[in-house]
Structure 1
Amino acid sequence: MMTEIFQDIREIYDFAAPCGELLPYIEFFSESSAEKCALRFDQGHASVTMFGSWTPTFYINLAGAYVIDVAGNRSAVSKDQDILVLRNGTVTRHNGPEDRIFTVKFYPGGLDAVLGLNQSAMQDRVIRLQDILPLELLGAMKAAANFSNRIEIMENYLLGMMRRSSGDHYSALVRQAIGEYSASGMRLNTSEVAERLFITSKSINRYFNRVVGVAPKQYFSLLRARTALTAMMADKPGFQPWDFGYYDPAHFYKDVHNFTGRRLSEIF
């Protein structure tokens, strides 16, 4: 079994950033690589666990069936089935070396801004993509010759949908709030972020619950723990918790436990 952040779960995938117009809404496109799977799949990729991120993610199935655990419930995904998962909690995917998945990972609120879909009602669910995206689009994605062609097809569809949308004031404000929090070195509390956006604490709580599905304090805590833990894994000797707004190591250790369900002493 491989676990996100603690191990390189990305090593069997190809990745690409979206075009500039979609950059505020989509973190990346990815696709499992037959060549990389042949080299590295046996190193633990049959079962991969990912921590919560509140990032809506498309999984378009190009080959093979697999099993996914969401909110403690196991779902079998057939080779013809495509799904959307919010990733508000821990998700584990069980797959084989022959599986091929094309992934679109949105930022929180990105689905709302691009497709007008509110993610707050998607918690702890495995949602059929056929109920959200046109069958013609999904068919074209599966028939495309390669990763680059699939990216082009998906981008063209999403750009077309976004340009027909009037946009969402609430989604835009949530993105600004996350940007302010990150730019501060993750030191601001919810009230301070709200003040920088010239809104009340009550308003920012309402916007986050409406757009993301969780209160800003909870989301900021998750974001900080994820970011700090990733930095620690990349450079253990140089890592300092206060670089990420923690006032002491114990504060960081507590957040990591809340985020991963594991204590650092159990990991190292």
Structure 2
Amino acid sequence: MKGILHPREQARHRTLDRLAVGPALAEFADRYWVVRWDLRGKPAYRAEVLSFPCVNVTFERSSTRTGGFVNGVCTTKYVRELDGEGETFGIRFRPGGFGAFTGMDVGALRDDSAPLADVLPSAAGLAERVLAEPSDAARAVVVEEFFAGRGRSEDPQYALVADIVAAMAADADLTRVDQVTARFAIPIRTLQRLFRRYVGAGPKWVLCRFRLQDAADLLAHGRRPDLAALAAELGYFDQAHFSREFTAEIGMPPWEYARTAQRANTTPTPR
């Protein structure tokens, strides 16, 4: 899955499963995801992710925190230390989806998280009910039942934001904010305001994040590190700009990331 850094190595330390969302949330969220780990008697592991531009609601049980949380857009590399035994059952809202569903300005949650009941007081006790269920499918039913009927009325601004973000993710030629404003005939200040309110981060950052996710995904899955060609393919002005941005966000140069991925890909994963 795009966004997971060092995916082969991560797979040795935790499991990751996904479930589709039901009709009550399909307009606003795109998947449930479940991470579990059991590192008892083993060293802790730092799992790294370049998160998507969206809000995640998580139900967690671990040695560091337990309960329900709303996690805003993370504009830096997200690092979660996995230690002992734990699990997270999460729902990933679509970019802009949580803001449209709840009516809140999600910019207030950027690079932060808050207890679920603080954000949605009616969710008090929901985490306990979710985590008490014995299966992921049953947990999804509890979440769907809670959110059913709580969505806001049709929101044309959310629909516009969703269309813009989808174009940013899918069109490799869309690399600058001025291209976005021209294609969607929207003033830049309006675009920035909508992205802060619904997405939680600016349009320039979203474009950059999608490009870096693409780069990391290609390098992690065997793309030969011809960095000049890769930079041009992803719309960067030059290789130096791409390398600086990649290194700043991921913590190592792209050639080193590719070499690390190659070593991981040739090492058998324990069964």
TM-score for the superposition, normalised by structure 2: 0.77
Q: Which moved more, 1:241-250 or 1:175-184?
A: 241-250
Shift of 1:147: 0.4
Contact 2:69 2:115 in 1 (8 A): yes
CA distance in 2, matches of 1:254, 1:27: 32
Runs of at least 5 residues in structure 2 that lack an aligned partner in the other structure: 260-271
Distance 1:236 1:247, change over 3 A: same
Match of 1:226 in 2: 213
Residues 29-69 of structure 1: per-residue CA shift (max 9 Å, x gap): 12234xxx45x8888763323335432222212x4322xxx
Shift of 1:17: 2.6
Q: For residue 150 of structure 2, what is the aligned residue in structure 1?
A: 161
Matches of 1:114 and 1:170, distance apart in 2: 12
Matched-pair contact (CA < 8 Å) for 1:55–1:88: no
Aligned partners of 1:60 and 1:103 also within 8 Å: yes
Please report how far the alpha carbon of residue 230 of structure 1 lies from its aligned counterpart in structure 2 after TM superposition: 1.1
1:238-253 pair list within 5 angstroms: 240-241=229-230, 242-246=232-236, 248-253=238-243
| In 1, Cα distance between equivalents of 2:139 and 2:192 | 37
Query: Which amino acid counterpart does residue 145 of structure 1 have in structure 2?
Result: P
Q: Secondary structure at the match of 1:180?
A: helix
Q: Structure 1 pair 178/138, CA: closer, same or farther in 2 (3 Å)?
A: same
| Paired position in structure 2 for 1:114 | 101
**How many residue pairs get matched?**
247
Residues 168-207 of structure 1, C-alpha deviations (whole Å, 9 max, x = no match): 3333222111122233224342122122222222321222
Q: Which deviations, in whole Å up to 9, do the C-alpha atoms of 1:236-262 show, x marking residues without a partner?
A: 139752333335433432331233243
What RMSD over aligned residues (CA atoms) do the two structures have, in Å? 2.9
Once the two structures are superposed, residues 197-239 of structure 1 have per-residue CA deviations (whole angstroms, 9 ceiling, x without a partner) of: 2222232122212322332112211221112221221231397
2:63, 2:85 within 8 Å by CA — same for their partners in 1? no
Q: In structure 1, the residue corresponding to 2:224 is in which secondary structure?
A: coil
- Post-superposition shift, 1:121? 0.4
By relative contact order (CA 8 Å, sep 6+), the higher-ranking structure is 2
Q: TM-score, normalised by structure 1?
A: 0.78
- Equivalent pair of 1:53/1:89 in contact (CA under 8 Å): no
Cα distance between partner residues in 1 of 2:7 and 2:41 = 14
Task: Quote the residue 2:264 is aligned against.
Answer: none
Whether 2:204 is the aligned partner of 1:206: answer no
Is the contact made by 1:109 and 1:171 (CA closer than 8 Å) also made in structure 2? yes
State the partner residue of 1:55. Answer: 54
Amino acid of the residue matched to residue 249 of structure 1? Answer: Q
Following the alignment from structure 1 to structure 2, what is the Cα–Cα distance between the partners of residues 21 and 186?
A: 34
**Aligned-partner residue type, residue 116 of structure 2:** L
Structure 1, gaps ≥5 residues long: 67-76
The equivalences for 1:10-25 within 5 A come to: 11-19=14-22, 22-25=25-28
- Whole-Å separation in 1 of the counterparts to 2:169 and 2:6: 22
Local SS of the residue matching 1:104: strand
Asked if the contact 1:85–1:127 (Cα under 8 Å) also holds between the matched residues in 2, the reply is yes
Looking at structure 2, the residues matched to 19 and 170 of structure 1 have their Cα atoms a distance apart, in angstroms, of 23
CA distance in 1, matches of 2:250, 2:51: 8
